[in-house]
Amino acid sequence: MQKYGHVYAAAATTTRLKPEANTGPKERSIRAPWCVPCKKIEPVFRELASRYPSMIFVTVDVEELAEFSNEWNVEATPTVVFLKDGRQMDKLVGAETSELQKKTAAAADLFLKKP
């Protein structure tokens, strides 16, 4: 889990990332396998993971991990949640790829700044 720049799928058996990955910036894409808009943003999500290798990108299948829907108040898919140190910093609902790119760039600027 220490190699960033990839998209990780949250497995049904692990609802949390490993402890060493719980700090720092994360982007979670909460989706469903039958969701057409989710499929639309998937290539963009993967490209952003390559562009921002210092961030962790995780996809969550709501059918496998339904508790994520409740925990993050997901009412529609796709939902992208931006986290830092386990706290939600921003959220995007829907498949607006330009908005996903803007929010990811803003998150990277905010999250990756040195104090």
Beta strand ranges found along 14-98 (DSSP E) = 25-31, 56-61, 79-84, 87-93
**Confidence (pTM):** 0.78
Phi, psi at 106, each rounded to 5°: -65, -40
pLDDT of residue 98: 96
Tokens of 83: 């986290």
| Domains by residue range for the chain, with CATH | 7-107 (3.40.30.10)
Q: Report, as residue numbers or ranges, the catalytic residues.
A: 35, 38
Per-residue pLDDT of the chain (115 residues; tens, 9 = 90+): 334 456 777 764 444 444 444 455 677 788 888 999 999 999 999 999 999 988 888 888 888 888 777 887 888 999 998 888 888 889 999 999 999 999 999 999 887 775 5
